[in-house]
Amino acid sequence: MKKTGLVFFPAFDWAISPTHPEREERLLYTRDQIFEEGLMDLPQITEYKPRLATKKDVARTHFCVPNVAGQTTEAHLIAAGGALVIADALMKGEIHNGFAMVRPPGHHAMRVVHGNRGFCNINNEAIMVDYLRHKYGIKKVAIIDTDVHHGDGTQDIFYHDPDVLFISFHQDGRTLYPGSGFTNEAGGPAAYGTTLNVPLPPGTTDEGIHYVLDNLILPVLNEFQPEIIINSAGQDNHYTDPLANMKVSAQGYAQLNQKLAPDIAVLEGGYAIETALPYVNTGIILAMAGLDYSHVIEPDYNKNQLVQSPEKTERIKETVEELLAVWKQRNKIELGVLAHKSDFYQRQKTIFYDTDYIHENQVEKVRLCYDCAGYITIMSQAFHHNDRRSKVFCVAIPFNACQRCYNDAHNDYMNAVRSEAYDYVYLQNKAEDVYRIFTNVGTKKLEEF
Amino acid sequence: MYIGIDVGGTFTDAVLIDKDRVISKTKFPTVHDNLLLSLLEALDRVTDQVDNSLIERVVISTTLITNLIVQNKYEPVALVLEPGPGLNPRDYPFKEDTFIIDGAIDYRGRQIIPLDKRQLDLTISEIKKKGYRKAAIVGKFSGRNNAHEIEVGNIFNRAGIITELGHKVSGRLNFLRRAATTMLTVATRDEHVKFVDTVNKAFRDRQITAPIFILKADGGTLSLEDSKKAPVETVFSGPAASTLGAMALSPEGEDTVVMDIGGTTTDLALILSGKPVLASKGATVKGYYTSITSYAVRSVPVGGDTAVAVKGNDIDLLYERKGPAYCFGGPYPTPTDALLVLGYYSHGNVEAAKEGLVKLAEPLGCDVKTVAQKILDKFSQSITGAIEDMFLSWEQEPAYRVWELLHPTQIRPQNIIGVGGAAPGITQAVARLINCTPVIPEHAEVANAIGAAVAQPTLKATLRIDTGEGLYTVEENGNQGSVSKFSSFREEDAVRLAKEQLLKMADDLHVPVDTGSVEVTHSEVFNVIRGFTTTGRIYHVTVQTPRKILTRLYKQGGQDA
Ligand SMILES: [Zn+2]
Ligand SMILES: [Zn+2]
Ligand SMILES: [Zn+2]
């Protein structure tokens, strides 16, 4: 019998600040519940020790400004490393699925990182996906973001990648941070339809998310046929979560994991640390291990209080219809039409870092390429609250880069270095797994690893 | 003078120690259906030249409880569990009759579901109808609040059922381990009490008035009388005895692998920075994890009597015993024969050993000495692999703090100490393979008894103090009490409270404690924040008496005793 792997890294000595929701106490009661339950002793479960993700593991996914060390504490590297430990165990065939119950979380961290957004600095799942692709040659990946917040960081990182299916359901962005994740955000021109966002009305219940699961997520997964399914497992849809307004229960979450059957789940948010987390985490672990979770019930659970109005049900059905239509048309978007207008697809973004109070402006360009995923350049300028500014240029070469993209990307990188217009210039060469940071601040310096 | 007696599965060993010298020692085969007789025989042999009034202390390590459990020689116990929310009780591992009752306590010790008295009455009649006299009563999170267990216990006792409560057995988190341990405690108590009373009487008959202790799996001692409260703590004291014995016979404060070579198995244990390594999971008894703390030991299925045969162009260990060694008239050549031929062992018939090895040497076309060396190498390799494995799994122990992960422990031993009959040759061979110093002490053959003789009581108090709930609990004895809910409660107060509880425990167990030597071994604080205000603090504090042994018998550079 292959087991369910667990990495439990509660980071009992790390917090954003003493009273921040992301603090030492967050997984304390989860620890108590799963230890008292004796889950680690069960023959179906095996516990792994996390490790630190390396600078290179992070640089494969992110452009950290000024560098990886500048954006990560050890806790971040261990949380990401915890996900990598599970990924390795899965790929070595030691486990049949695994759950990295780690903090700090990561799904709001985008490709370029100037600071902390939504409690996240680096994106644990994205780092794991890039690691799986680099180390094990995995191509098609599905990430299902079940956190109440839009997984905007993960979306940003895989927006142009047709081989990564990213589906996020969340409380409607008009009513909740980060304010994005609408149905029209469906992927770049070369990856249209492989990003699907399901904004849900506040007050959505187990019934609502299971409707989305049964009618959208599972059928789409079935068609997409990923090699690996990842649950970006936020727990803040819970009816007691202080940061959101949804009505999902521990049973709802456990059932979701049973049906979704993710290969790997990575913990994201969830801030009802007493009333939800101990129960939701226990439920998820039991579901993943194929054990009966029907006895995992919150003390104050009352089914009658967790009902969804018919009007909300109707809205959810409409959203699902709309997204199914997007999914069905995904191959009809003619890359050629767009490419005809210009060789590059360009988008401008303004990004706000709520925790660190940074405003960022970005111009992102993607080569529309018939032979590979296309290289990406990002010009990014950040305005910090203390008037500090930084201007950086980033070049990303995809794993499967064609020769033309590879050469052009290098040229763009060299031109940016020569121009002296940027504080930092980055080259992320995933094709050769080589990463460069050129520094223009103070003495000019080049770091390669 | 101190006496140590180890009533082991194969041999009963005893030693009499004066200061750091072994005055007398004995070793003879254990009489299986009469452990008491074995114990007393060993006692009489080591004390026959001394005045019994000079004996200051006796420590016994025995397999009595282990045997009772393994051989099912106990009255069946009803398991009464209060699981609350979580795993479906259907998936629990217990083979015992299990009765589930309503009610629940949560992780902060709050009642979330009250008890159902009517249901309890029904449960009691059902238990009686099935013929049980005894019950183990265990609630989830009873270590955080014992109120339900106490109430259920009282109701059961009034109904004439003999009970044990989970929180008294262990307050550490792990409901299933606690349930198993509580069940074993009720199950074995009567037999253990009988044993204790007979031992006491036998010692009185011999005019031995010295205090008698019993060795626990964690290497600590309990007075014989107090062991009646926690009989299962005495299971697996054998490995603890051999580890402590090795400690007394090896260099102080260093990293040492302990290798106890028996007839068919070799047990390994680790001493790091002079302290034996404890197992992270509780001891496994009858296939159940328990909350009994024990040393981390690993058993390799090879020993002095392991049969050896030719396989292909090489020899192979058969991982089983086919009888005694050739040198003692057995049917198959063994590592013991190899050691004898190579001159590392001095019992048995050398000619017979050679004869046995010729049977292996001939088909391989080599001489007897070469074959003997091959056997020794194979043996050493299988042990070396297990040692390496032990270190790896020890390094892989989970860590829950950033600090722990940044300070990884990667230690390889400096010494390897071999105890047991076949120790000398094998210890040297293994030491060469893993590149460390072999320690082959004198008296190694009675190391277990030495370990018992030098064991000391160890006391530890682990407190969880929740100022938000105004409650503290002690893991080791299930005590609980209240603390002030005010934020004026500080870490110093937590440590003071922990030390107070330790001294109370010492009092209950009649262990003298030097207050100045009590050390804080673990301390952490969590702020309990609701909204953006601190509504309390949770402290985890562990204080303990220093873990020392009574005396050391290791002599630098030699075996001059
Ligand atoms: Zn989401
Ligand atoms: Zn969230
Ligand atoms: Zn290309």
H or E element that contains A32: helix A28-37
Model confidence at A189: pLDDT above 70: yes
Q: Could you say which ligand is closest to the alpha carbon of residue A408?
A: 3
CB contact under 8 Å between A41 and B177, yes or no, is yes
Complete domains list, chain A, with CATH? 3-329 (3.40.800.20), 340-448 (no CATH)
3-state secondary structure of B138: strand
Token digits of residue A240:
């007691």
User: Which of A10, A18, A295 shows the shortest C-beta gap to B86?
Assistant: A295
Point out the least confidently predicted range of A70-79, A362-371, B201-210, B339-348: B339-348
Amino acid at residue number B472:
Y
Got the DSSP string for A379-447? Answer: EEEEEETTS-EEEEEEEEE-TT--HHHHHHHHHHHHHHHHHT--SEEEEEETTTTEEEEEE-SSS-EEE
pLDDT value of position A342: 65
Clarify whether A108 is annotated catalytic.
yes
Q: Of the ranges A9-18, A392-401, B8-17, which is most confident?
A: A392-401
Token digits of residue A83:
């996900």
Contact list in A for residue B140 (CB cut-off 8 A) is 36-37
**Catalytic residue of the set A76, A108, A114, A160:** A108
User: Distance of CA A145 to CAs A107, A195, B135, Å?
Assistant: 9, 11, 47
In a mutagenesis test of the B interface, which of A16, A36, A279 is the best target, namely the one with the most B β-carbons within 10 Å? A36
CB contact under 8 Å between B173 and A35, yes or no, is yes
Q: ipTM of the predicted structure?
A: 0.92
Q: What is the average pLDDT score of chain B?
A: 90
Strands (E) across A27-115 are located at: 45-48, 63-64, 95-102, 112-113
Q: How far apart are CA B392 and CA B408, in angstroms?
A: 12
User: Which of A24, A37, A297 shows the shortest C-beta gap to B87?
Assistant: A37
Contact list in A for residue B111 (CB cut-off 8 A) is none
User: Which of A14, A75, A295 shows the shortest C-beta gap to B88?
Assistant: A295
Contact list in A for residue B410 (CB cut-off 8 A) is none
Binned at pLDDT 50, 70 and 90, residue B558 comes out as very low
Cβ neighbours of residue B513 closer than 8 Å, sequence gap 6 or more? B459, B502, B503, B506, B545
User: Cα dihedral sign for B80, B86, B89, B95?
Assistant: negative
Contact list in B for residue A286 (CB cut-off 8 A) is 87
The answer, as to whether pTM is greater than 0.95, is no
Give the model confidence (pLDDT) of B506-553 as tens digits.
998 888 888 888 999 989 999 999 888 888 999 999 999 988 898 888
> What's the maximum distance between 2 C-alpha atoms anywhere in chain B?
83
* Of A203, A200, A199, A201, residue with least CA distance to A186: A199
Provide the terminal-to-terminal Cα distance of chain B, rounded to the nearest Å: 17
CB contact under 8 Å between B401 and A13, yes or no, is yes
CA–CA min distance A23, chain B (Å): 9
* Of B60, B74, B73, residue with least CA distance to B225: B60
CB-CB contact of B394 with B415 (8 Å): no
pLDDT value of position B253: 87
CB contact under 8 Å between A19 and B403, yes or no, is no
In a mutagenesis test of the A interface, which of B105, B144, B182, B405 is the best target, namely the one with the most A β-carbons within 10 Å? B405
Contact list in A for residue B113 (CB cut-off 8 A) is 299
- A155 alpha carbon – ligand 2 mean position (Å): 14
3-state secondary structure of B405: helix
CB contact under 8 Å between B173 and A278, yes or no, is no
Give the model confidence (pLDDT) of B352-369 as tens digits.
999 999 999 999 999 999
CB-CB contact of B410 with B236 (8 Å): no
Q: Is B495 exposed, middle or buried (0-12, 13-18, 19+ CB in 10 A)?
A: middle
Point out the least confidently predicted range of A298-312, B83-97, B229-243, B467-481: B229-243
Q: What is the average pLDDT score of chain A?
A: 94
Give how far the C-alpha of residue B5 lies from the chain's centroid of Cα atoms, to the nearest Å.
16
Instruction: Kindly calculate the radius of gyration of chain A based on its CA atoms and give it in whole angstroms.
Output: 21
Binned at pLDDT 50, 70 and 90, residue B428 comes out as confident
H or E element that contains B339: helix B335-342
Cβ neighbours of residue B70 closer than 8 Å, sequence gap 6 or more? B286
Q: How far apart are CA B136 and CA B133, in angstroms?
A: 11
Specify which residues A344 forms β-bridges with.
A367
3-state secondary structure of B156: helix
pLDDT, average across residues A371-390: 92
CB contact under 8 Å between A28 and B176, yes or no, is no
User: Which of B107, B289, B398 shows the shortest C-beta gap to A47?
Assistant: B398
Q: How far apart are CA A175 and CA B292, in angstroms?
A: 52
CB contact under 8 Å between B107 and A33, yes or no, is yes
Token digits of residue B307:
């049969």
